[in-house]
């Protein structure tokens, strides 16, 4: 079997959709490692093929520069990662690569290609799209790249063969996550990843589980099926991270604390090892309790983010978030008691939301007093129940995400849920809400109390700005 050289690339993201982040913050906000590509790197390395990794976004390379750096390594194929929000840049890079080296194959994977595989390979410059989790499929592709005159008929792969689209449905999600090799952080310039929200830089990210069993209407999770790494696997991965000299971990699981026993085992393991690490995670208020949070705090958890979405029970029901507002209040109290920094995530302009409901959200924020709050205008993402409902009921007039997938344009505007409000009204409400929270005497006083040095003052100010402008994901 021929050894295939593949370049795995995180393109420079100069044109992310919906970016409300001012330039000065965009450059200060830091960079997360592209975890998906690092998992692929490990899988490819293990299979005997030859991967190269480039983070053009971290380097700040233009697409032209990136193409030149990549092609210096003479790869047979280039794999780019893209979400729908970043496909414009991935496509621009694909075209740049083809301009210099028309025979190099280009492959796109990630959330966008998963939703729109056919549209992705119809973009000029793109040969293949991979749907879903890529670790197994990419190896299948590399094993077969030079067989059968370059025609690859493998589940999960869509190919453009001279204008004819060969789409092979994916076989679904990986069943055993513990079979995966740890993401190849060593292949990246791992000491350069950072975040203004971190206590200590450099940082890394982890995904200790994949999927989420809940059904919020606005959410697109790549397959709802929840799967997780064992506590032993997670602890060995943390051990590798510690050995790299990294002390802060952003756990990016959709709902980290879904399985209590696993969380308890992970925390006990960290405490037993005596690792000097701090970490943060995202979860739901109905998936934590006092005992678990106490242990998490002891194990280095310093911040928790909760998707609360609305202060109105009626809206929470309507968007299928199904959390109880009393529980929200209890959990934010526990955070305060345990000195875990809390972040509450809300959306404005939800399905069936009225102005009275929005007022309830603001009242709830005042009551639960989160350390940070993140508001976003409800935007129906592609392949979500909300987007489909919008198309059926006429709230969204046409399938604009599909049109965008067919021809990504730089100035595309993601749709906003305008059932009861205009777009301008919603953005005005959000802007006002941010000001009210971050410029309140409560917030400023809390920040000042926490500050012990000038360095910390700078960090707190940056963190507040980060929250202020961070978009919802």
* Contact of 370 with 303, CB cutoff 8 Å: no
Binder of residue 271, out of ligand SF4, ligand B12, none (CB less than 5 to 8 A by kind): none
Q: Dihedral sign, CA of 392, 396, 402, 406? A: positive
| CA nearest neighbour of 284 among 213, 218, 221 | 213
Separation of alpha carbons 423 and 102, rounded Å? 43
Q: Does 133 bind ligand B12 (CB under 6 A)?
A: yes
Footprint on residues 267-296 left by ligand SF4 (CB under 6 A): 284
Residue placing its CB nearer to ligand SF4 in the complex, 241 or 323: 323
Binders in 212-271 for ligand B12, by CB under 6 A: 219-222, 252, 254
Nearer to ligand SF4, 78 or 285 (CB): 285
Binding pattern for the stretch 315-344 against ligand B12, x by CB under 6 A and - elsewhere:
------------------------------
**DSSP code per residue over 198-211:** -SSSSEEEE-SEE-
If binding is defined by CB under 6 A, does position 115 make contact with ligand B12?
yes
Is 11 one of the binding residues for ligand B12 (CB under 6 A)? no
Residue in the structure block whose two tokens are 């295939």: 4
Which span (36-44, 123-131, 171-179, 207-215) binds ligand SF4, by CB under 6 A? 207-215
CB of 231: closest distance to ligand SF4 in angstroms? 21
Place of tokens 């966008």: 112
Judged by CB under 6 A, the stretch of 105-113, 145-153, 269-277, 389-397 that binds ligand B12 is: 105-113
CA distance linking residue 172 with residue 451, whole number of Å: 49
Which strands, in side-by-side order, build the sheet including 50-55? 50-55, 5-10, 77-81, 105-109, 128-130, 157-161, 164-167
Determine if 134 is a binding residue for ligand B12 (CB under 6 A): yes
Residue 210 sits in the site that holds ligand SF4 (CB under 6 A)? no
Checking 387-391 for CB contacts under 8 A at 24+ apart, the result is 387/415, 389/217, 389/351, 390/415, 390/417
Residue 32 vs 434, nearer CB to ligand B12: 32
**Smallest distance, ligand SF4 to C-beta of residue 224, A:** 7
Kindly state the number of chain residues that form the binding site for ligand B12, as judged by CB under 6 A. Answer: 41
- Alpha carbon of 310 to those of 138, 251, 313, 433, 466: distances in Å? 40, 24, 8, 13, 21
- Residue closer to ligand B12 (CB basis): 120 or 342: 120
C-beta of 106 vs 308, nearer to ligand SF4: 308
Comparing CB distances to ligand SF4, the nearer of 7 and 219 is 219
Query: Angle 423-438/454-469 helices, nearest 10 degrees?
Result: 160
Using the contact rule CB under 6 A, the part of the chain among 122-130, 216-224, 399-407, 435-443 near ligand SF4 is 216-224
Query: H-helix or E-strand containing 406?
Result: helix 400-406
In whole angstroms, give the CA distance from residue 69 to residue 89: 16
Stretch near ligand SF4 under the rule CB under 6 A, chosen from 132-140, 152-160, 184-192, 211-219 = 211-219
In this structure, how many other beta carbons lie within 10 angstroms of the beta carbon of residue 163?
6
Based on CB atoms, which residue is closest to ligand SF4, 254 or 353? 254
Residue 214 interface partner, choices ligand SF4, ligand B12, none, CB cut-off 5-8 Å depending on type: ligand SF4
Query: How many whole angstroms separate alpha carbon 314 and alpha carbon 335?
Result: 25
- Tokens of residue 57, six digits: 């976004």
Binding-residue pattern over the window 136 to 165 for ligand B12, x denoting contact by CB under 6 A: --x---------------------------
Which of 49, 112, 262, 321 is the binder for ligand B12 (CB under 6 A)? 112
Instruction: Decide whether 81 or 255 has the Cβ nearer to ligand SF4.
Output: 255
Closer CB to ligand B12, 130 or 203, in the complex: 130
Residue 349 binds which entry of ligand B12, ligand SF4, none, CB below 5-8 Å type-dependent: none
Rounded Cα–Cα distance for residues 210 and 207 (Å): 7
Per the rule left: phi > 0, alpha: psi between -120 and 50, beta: everything else, 223 is left
> Residue from 91, 381, 404, 417 that binds ligand B12 (CB under 6 A)?
381
Residue 284 contacts which entry, ligand SF4, ligand B12, none (Cβ below 5-8 A, type-dependent): ligand SF4
Q: Give the C-alpha separation, 173 to 225, whole Å.
A: 8
Instruction: Measure the CA–CA gap between 380 and 415, rounded to whole angstroms.
Output: 6
Q: How far is the CB of 273 from ligand SF4 (least distance, A)?
A: 29
Q: Which is nearer to ligand B12, 325 or 350 (CB)?
A: 350
| Binding flag, residue 254, ligand SF4 (CB under 6 A) | yes
Residues that bind ligand SF4 (CB under 6 A): 212, 214-216, 219, 221, 254-255, 284, 307
């Amino acid at each position: 079997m021929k050894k295939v050289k593949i370049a795995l690339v995180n393109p420079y993201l100069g044109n992310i959709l919906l970016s409300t982040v001012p330039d000065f913050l965009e450059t200060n906000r830091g960079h997360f490692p592209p975890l998906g590509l690092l998992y692929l790197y490990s899988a490819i390395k293990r299979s005997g093929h030859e991967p190269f990794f480039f983070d053009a976004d971290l380097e700040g390379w233009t697409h032209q520069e990136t193409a030149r750096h990549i092609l210096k390594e003479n790869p047979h194929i280039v794999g780019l990662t893209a979400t729908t929000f970043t496909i414009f840049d991935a496509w621009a890079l694909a075209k740049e690569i083809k301009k210099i080296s028309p025979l190099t194959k280009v492959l796109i994977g990630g959330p966008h290609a998963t939703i729109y595989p056919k549209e992705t390979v119809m973009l000029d410059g793109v040969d293949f799209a991979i749907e879903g989790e890529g670790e197994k499929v990419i190896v299948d592709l590399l094993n077969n790249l030079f067989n059968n005159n370059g025609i690859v008929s493998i589940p999960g792969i869509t190919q453009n063969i001279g204008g004819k689209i060969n789409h092979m449905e994916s076989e679904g999600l990986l069943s055993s996550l513990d079979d995966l090799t740890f993401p190849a952080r060593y292949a990246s310039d791992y000491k350069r990843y950072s975040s203004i929200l971190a206590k200590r830089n450099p940082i890394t990210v982890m995904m200790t589980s994949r999927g989420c069993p809940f059904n919020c209407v606005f959410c697109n999770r790549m397959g709802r099926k929840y799967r997780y790494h064992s506590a032993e696997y997670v602890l060995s991965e943390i051990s590798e991270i510690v050995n790299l000299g990294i002390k802060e971990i952003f756990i990016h699981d959709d709902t980290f604390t879904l399985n209590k026993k696993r969380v308890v085992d992970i925390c006990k393991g960290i405490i037993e090892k005596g690792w000097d690490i701090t970490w943060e995670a995202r979860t739901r208020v109905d998936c934590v309790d006092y005992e678990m949070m106490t242990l998490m705090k002891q194990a280095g958890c310093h911040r928790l983010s909760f998707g609360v979405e609305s202060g109105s029970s009626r809206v929470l029901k309507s968007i299928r978030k199904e959390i109880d507002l009393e529980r929200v209040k209890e959990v934010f109290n526990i955070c305060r008691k345990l000195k875990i920094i809390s972040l509450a995530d809300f959306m404005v302009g939800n399905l069936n939301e009225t102005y009275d409901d929005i007022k309830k959200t603001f009242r709830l924020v005042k009551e639960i007093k989160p350390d940070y709050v993140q508001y976003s205008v409800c935007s129906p993402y592609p392949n979500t129940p909300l987007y489909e409902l919008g198309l059926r009921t006429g709230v969204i007039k046409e399938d604009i995400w599909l049109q965008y997938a067919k021809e990504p344009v730089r100035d595309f505007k993601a749709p906003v849920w305008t059932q009861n409000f205009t777009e301008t009204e919603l953005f005005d409400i959000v802007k006002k809400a941010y000001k009210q929270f971050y410029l309140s005497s409560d917030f400023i006083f809390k920040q000042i109390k926490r500050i012990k040095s000038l360095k910390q003052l700078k960090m707190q100010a940056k963190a507040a700005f980060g929250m202020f402008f961070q978009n919802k994901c």
